[in-house]
Each structure stands twice: as C-alpha cells, then as structure tokens.
Structure 1
C-alpha cells in the first residue's frame, strides 16, 4: 500500500466580502464589472499549468480588461471569477460569498470603484458582526 503525503487547500474559507459604496450607482457598476469578469473567466480561464513559461495574457483578456477600465487586474484575478461564488447587491452594499482564499480579483474591483471593504470568515463571525461561539464555550 502507498500512502500519498501532500499539501491540499481543500479547506473551505467560507469568506464574506462586503463592499459599501457611497452611491447605488457605484454598487451597480461593480456588479456589472463582476458579471463581465465572470463571463470572461469562463471563456478565457488559464489552464493553471505552473510549468508554463508563457505568462502573457491572451489578447481577448487584455482587450476586455481595458474596455472595463480594470487596469490593475491580472490573469489570476480574473480566474477567480470562474470559481464558485455568490454576489448579491442590496442598495449600495454588495456581498460576496466564496470558499476560496484567493480574493484579490474581488477586492481590486470593489476598491477600484470606491468601496469600503470588510472581509471575514463565517467560521468565526456571524453576518450581523457578532462572534460565533466556540464549541464547548
């Protein structure tokens, strides 16, 4: 019998990102960009082949990021939109739920459009801002 020893990152982060905008139109612009990035990620997602020496982004990806005026995003920032996540807008507040620890692509969009951002794990905090009670405590 062989036992495989390796590192895995399957542990769920159960993260919540909350972006608070000054205006509803700011939140709407963020949602529009995130929907466009999700569609882009699904068509232009990288193969995650770490052995590849060619780190350049495809022209279609570059062109769309320029069109969206998201100059600070890179390939991995776009790729995160292909993973399972949920986005909800309520007025000028956007909530994003994800199991991933890589959230840079979400943060960059929220901050680029002027949001004040809060990030927490639902393992430790309730969505109303109160701490979760530890088991046995």
Structure 2
C-alpha cells in the first residue's frame, strides 16, 4: 500500500484589498489597467511556467508592460491577474476580492497609480474595516 503525501493549498484566503485613490479618475484608471493586465495574463499564461522559473518573460509581455509604464512588474505579478478575483469601484475606492495569497501584482499597480493600500482578511474583518465578532459579525 502506498500513502500519498503532498502539499496543497485550499486557496481560502478570503482576502480583500482596498485601493483608495485621490480622485475617481485615478480609480477608473486603475480598473482600466487591471482589465488590461487580466487580458495580458490570460494571453501569456502557461500551465508549465511554474516549472521554468529561470525562463525569461516573453518579449510581448515585457513590451506590453513597458507600454503601460509598469516597469517594476514581473511575470508573477501579471500572473496574479489570471487567478480568480473580482474588482469593484465605488467613487475613488477600488475593492479587489480574491482567495489567493499572491497579490503583489495588485499592490504594485495600486501604488504605481498613487493609491493607498489596505489588505483585510475576510475571515476576521468586515468590509468596512471593523473586526468580526465571535458570533459571526
């Protein structure tokens, strides 16, 4: 009899990243860039990429990041946009929800566009930033 052992992740972060911008136009620009990065991630994603950590980014990806002025983003940052997430805007605030713990691509974009970043665990905090109570909050 063989016993299978492995490491797995349940992807249950229930994470909320809040980006607060100075103007509504800045928040709208962030949404637009996130949509572009999602499209780029979907086009550039490959199931085998995780096995080739030393592989350079495709030229098309570096060219597109340069066009967007996102020189500090790498392939892993773009890959964040391929994972399941949702984005909502209310005024000058953008809310990104994901079950992933890898959020550096979102953080970099919000900061690049002049936003303030707040990250909350939905397991312990309500959307308004108040702690959940032991009774389910």
TM-score by shorter chain over 0.5: yes
Q: Which runs of 5+ in 1 are unaligned?
A: none
Structure 1 residues 103 and 48, CA gap change in structure 2 (3 angstroms):
farther
Deviates more, 1:35-44 or 1:10-19: 10-19
Q: C-alpha separation between the residues in 2 aligned to 1:92 and 1:48?
A: 38
What is the CA distance between 1:10 and its match in structure 2?
1.6
* Contact 1:86–1:98 (8 Å) recurs in 2: yes
SS for the counterpart of 2:118 is strand
How many residue pairs get aligned? The number is: 136
**1:66-77 residue pairs with structure 2 within 5 A?**
66-77=66-77
1:125 corresponds to = 125
SS for the counterpart of 1:66 is helix
**1:1-137 residue pairs with structure 2 within 5 A?**
1-52=1-52, 54-134=54-134
Q: C-alpha separation between the residues in 1 aligned to 2:43 and 2:56?
A: 16
RMSD: 1.7
* Contact 1:46–1:79 (8 Å) recurs in 2: no
Structure 1 residues 81 and 70, CA gap change in structure 2 (3 angstroms):
same
